[in-house]
Structure 1
Amino acid sequence: MQYYSTNKSVPEVSLKLAVTKGLADDKGLFMPERINQLPASFFETIEQLSFQEISFEVAKAFFGEDIPEADLKALVFDTLQFDCPIVPVHDNIYSLELFHGPTLAFKDVGGRFMARLLGYFLKGNKEHVNVLVATSGDTGSAVANGFLGVPGIDVYVLYPKGLVSEIQEKQFTTLGQNITSLEIDGTFDDCQRLVKSAFMDETLKSKLTLTSANSINVARFLPQAFYYFNAYARLKEKGLQDELVVAVPSGNFGNLTAGLFAQKMGLPIKRFIAANNENDIVYQYLQTGEYKPRPSVATIANAMDVGDPSNFARILDLFDNSHEAICSVMKGFRYSDAEIREVLLKVYTEKNYLLDPHGACAYKALAKDLGEGEVGVFLETAHPAKFTETVEQIIGKGNVPLPEKLAEFMKGEKLSVELSTSFDDFQKFLLETAK
């Protein structure tokens, strides 16, 4: 399988090059040259398969031409050492809980899979790779823990100072070893800009091998399609797979893009709902047909605080830049912090289900839009304990249990380096420290 750039001004590359480069030389995002359809027989018996077995079949459609089947199966099964259950919340609304991995966030699958895949490609090579990742919260912890201790790879996590929760911060700043955390005095958009600029910098490119572990990397976002197939299978077990609507809390749009890929592969999802916080750039696009990035603003759903979502370029490419085609499969909603607080408290009080701020945003949009006869799934992307301070302010102190995994992270010592938003400072740091 070859991969082309969304900007379409450079030659196609192999999967290995797409993964190790992260970003195309023309600043575009890599896309597979085609999206393979899964056979009807797969969907006829999908409910009989486990999450791991489903994911392996999907992975073969993505990566089977480039990785021997036995090796790919080992990669998938090693990545998915946990489950993602469907939990009933209200009438015909279900939560797909994606927070049962090592860092209690949905990005564990993509982060761990990419680490294993990159390690697979580097096996036996003397090449050293430096992974750059910008995070607004959960990406940093998922990638850092996925790559922790992987030979031949160093990870640099850039995060906005004071704009991630303490627990999120502890999950990647306390690890040490091959993980370096850079506390940037700016926003997530500044962190993302620094990472993208590094990939384009000729001085860095001549001295270092750089790649990204953000969802701009195909090995990070494509495996997130696994979730959607598993959700369909678990609903089919209950006879509820028809008229399926999926709501996704959306920041950088990697997760929703993976869902659209799943739909293109034949997964019968009726429509997607993109749930935005006050950073509503894609919501505005869906209303007007005009894409107008702007600086992000801080909200209580901080992982969605993105003012220029990278993966929207992939969505435009998937649908040939057709606003009409995109709107035919996707609806948008946006909510203020006050509205997110209100629904989080309401669901906790009335349904005895504890949402995190991002899941609350998706639940509210789904409850608003779901029609008669439809079944809705919203993605609960992180454990509410990752936002303990915010959630306890809403529902009352002492009501958010702290899982043992998170408690262990909180005991660690913060190890991070403070940097400005200047690319010159970032370049200098990498030249002095990276291999």
Structure 2
Amino acid sequence: MKLYSTKHQSPDVSLEEAVFRGLPPDNGLYMPEYIPTLPLSFFETIQDLSLSEIALEVSKALIGDDIPEADLKRIIDQAITFDAPVVAVEPDTYVLELFHGPSMAFKDFGARFMAALMSYFLEKSAKEIHILVATSGDTGGAVAQGFYQTPGVKVTILYPRGKVSDIQEKQLTTLGANVTALEVEGTFDDCQRLVKEAFLDADLRAKFNLASANSINISRLIPQAFYYFNAYARLKHLGKPLVFSVPSGNFGNLSAGIIAYRMGLPVRKFIAATNSNHVVPDYLSTGVFEPKPSQETISNAMDVGNPSNFPRLLLLSGGEWETAKDLITGIWYDDAQTQDAIRHAYDSTAYLLCPHTAIAYQGLKDTVAGMEEEVTGVFLSTAHYAKFLPTMEATLGTTLPVPERLAELLDKTKEAIPMSSNFADFKAYLLS
């Protein structure tokens, strides 16, 4: 598997180098040189395959000979230990539940696969690495769980003070060992900027083997493609075109879906559903990409004003505005509309939607309502509702049950180091 930089000013690299480097030296993003199309025989029998079996076939096609099949199977078996069920919510409307992993968020797929992949490469090289990751909520908990006590790996997680839920914060600040949390005075965009600047800093690169666990790392996107194929496998028997509605912030999840599409997954339309941080829906409407400071919302993991994966999204969609808007519909909702969607789904179906999932649900309903053909709609549920309990209970006006493993976190003591949004301070901390 060869990968190139989206800025085309850095050498092509192997999968191993792309995984550990995270970002190319030219500050682009790594992209596969070639995205294979899976054979027709795969889709003819996909309904008979488990999620892990699907993952192996997709991985083999993407990764090629970089990793022997037996080792690749071991990596998948280590990483994908939970399901991604498809649940009927309304007629022709299904939810793809991605919160059944350890941190109860979809980021578990990417973080655990990445951890297993890095461990495989580290076993061969005997290197040690320092992972830097910015989080707007769920990435931090998934990375913390995925890399906790992994030999040869130190993890530093940056999160914006006061802008993640209590449970999200406890998931990334209570493990200790090789995981350190930095509570940044700023926004997620500030956290993301600090991580990017660190990767481009000569002093830090000379001292540390730095790696990224954000969705800027290509190894995060590969496993996220698995569950799109899995959704098709479970719904193939319905015989209708699929529409996927994806709650979007940094746009790694949607990019992974389009990788699946490029590999042959039959999809009629993708929906980029966002909150008030709607620079991508604006782009799809106008053709102008204009990053803006992020706005704080109740769907905090999507509070991204300058999505890092936008260059990938555009390239995967054909490289031009015209091709992107044909494949992707952009739509966005403010907090009041998000709460309305939560209430409507609960009152009409008893299904509990987290604030991010609610945006995907409403985006699907509104988009499909304007389509002439009959389709099967799938909205992605990216996190368990209980991770946003105060918002959920205030919205619905009732007390909601909390899974035991999340409830236990609230009694643990937070351990985080305060950090400014100034890169000089962050660099000084790392060097010390």
Query: Where on the TM-score scale, by shorter chain, does this alignment land: which range?
Result: over 0.9
Q: Distance in 2 between matches of 1:132 and 1:367?
A: 38
Kindly state the Cα deviation for residue 320 of structure 1 after the two structures are TM-superposed.
4.7
For 2:257 and 2:125, locate their aligned partners in 1 and report how far apart those are by CA, in whole Å.
34
Structure 1 counterpart of 2:347, which letter? T
Q: State the match for 2:305 in structure 1.
A: 307
- In the alignment, which residue of structure 2 is the partner of 1:363? 361
CA contact (8 A) 1:277 1:337 kept: yes
**Do the aligned partners of 1:64 and 1:72 also contact (CA within 8 Å) in 2?**
no
Question: Is 1:381 matched with 2:382?
Answer: yes
Aligned-partner Cα distance in 2 for 1:214–1:152: 19
CA positional deviation for 1:241: 4.5
Which digits, 9 at most, give the CA deviation of each residue in 1:217-236, with x for residues without a partner? 01112210001000000112
Task: Report SS of the residue matched to 2:238.
Answer: coil
State the match for 1:53 in structure 2: 53
Alignment counterpart, residue 323 of structure 1, candidates 321, 324, 337: 321
Q: Secondary structure at the match of 2:245?
A: strand
Q: Contact 2:258–2:317 (CA<8 Å) still a contact in 1?
A: no
Provide the rounded CA distance (Å) in 1 between the counterparts of 2:385 and 2:341: 14
**Cα contact 1:295–1:307 (8 A) shared by 2:** yes
Q: Which runs of 5+ in 2 are unaligned?
A: none
Secondary structure at 1:355's aligned position in 2?
coil
Q: Which amino acid aligns with 1:316?
A: L
Deviation sequence 1:14-50 (CA, Å, 0-9, x none): 1100000000000001001100110000000000011
Amino acid at match of 2:187: T
Q: What per-residue deviation string (whole Å, max 9, x for no partner) do you get for residues 155-187 of structure 1? A: 000000000000000001000000000000000
Which residue in the other structure is 2:288 paired with?
290
Unaligned runs of 5+ in 1: none
* Alpha carbons 1:2, 1:14 under 8 Å: kept: yes
Task: Tell me which residue corresponds to 2:3.
Answer: 3
In structure 1, what is the equivalent of residue 148 of structure 2?
A: 148
**Structure 2 counterpart SS, 1:155:** strand
Q: More displaced, 311-320 or 204-213?
A: 311-320
Shift of 1:343: 0.9
CA displacement at 1:409 relative to structure 2: 2.0
Q: Separation in 2 of the partners of 1:241 and 1:136?
A: 38
Distance 1:410 1:65, change over 3 A: same
Are the counterparts in 2 of residues 251 and 276 from structure 1 also a CA contact under 8 Å? Answer: yes
Q: Indicate conservation of the 8 Å contact 2:318/2:324, yes or no.
A: no
Residue 279 of structure 1 contacts residue 305 of structure 1 at CA under 8 Å; is this kept in 2? yes
State the SS of the aligned residue for 1:11: coil
1:244 aligns with 2:242: yes
Q: Tell me the distance in 2 between the aligned counterparts of 1:412 and 1:178.
A: 18
Separation (CA, whole Å) in 1 of partners of 2:241 and 2:128: 48
Aligned to 1:395: 396
Q: SS at the partner of 2:225?
A: helix
Distance 1:72 1:426 in 2: 36
**What SS class does the counterpart of residue 120 from structure 1 fall into?**
helix
State the AA in 1 paired with 2:206: S
Which amino acid in structure 2 is aligned with residue 197 of structure 1? E
Q: Distance in 2 between matches of 1:191 and 1:51?
A: 33
Whether the 8 Å contact between 1:134 and 1:188 is mirrored in structure 2 is: yes
Q: CA RMSD in A?
A: 0.9
The DSSP-based 3-state class of the residue aligned with 2:183 is: strand
Q: CA contact under 8 A between 1:232 and 1:241: conserved in structure 2?
A: no
SS at 1:177 equivalent: coil
Matched AA of 2:5: S
Cα distance in 2 for residues equivalent to 1:106 and 1:342? 23
Partner of 2:117: 117
Identity %: 55
Name the counterpart of 1:337.
Answer: 335
CA distance in 2, matches of 1:126, 1:84: 34
Q: Return the offset for 1:72.
A: 0.1
CA drift of 1:242 comes to 2.4
Matches within 5 A, 1:396-415: 396-398=397-399, 400-415=400-415
Answer whether contact 1:3 1:30 (CA < 8 A) is retained.
yes
Correspondence for 2:279: 281
Aligned length: 429
Is the 2:141–2:168 contact (alpha carbons within 8 Å) kept by the matching residues of 1?
A: yes
Does structure 2 retain, via aligned residues, the 8 Å contact 1:144–1:172? Answer: yes
State the Cα distance separating 1:112 from its structure 2 match.
Answer: 0.3
Moved over 4 A (4+): none
Aligned partners of 1:173 and 1:35: how far apart in 2?
A: 38
Q: Deviations over 1:201-251 (max 9, x none)?
A: 011011111010000001112210001000000112xx2242110000000
> 2:214 maps to which residue?
214
Deviations 1:291-323 (A, max 9, x none): 000100000000000000011110122245310
Cα displacement string for residues 81-128 of structure 1 (whole angstroms, at most 9, x for unaligned residues): 111111111111100000000010001010000001011101153421
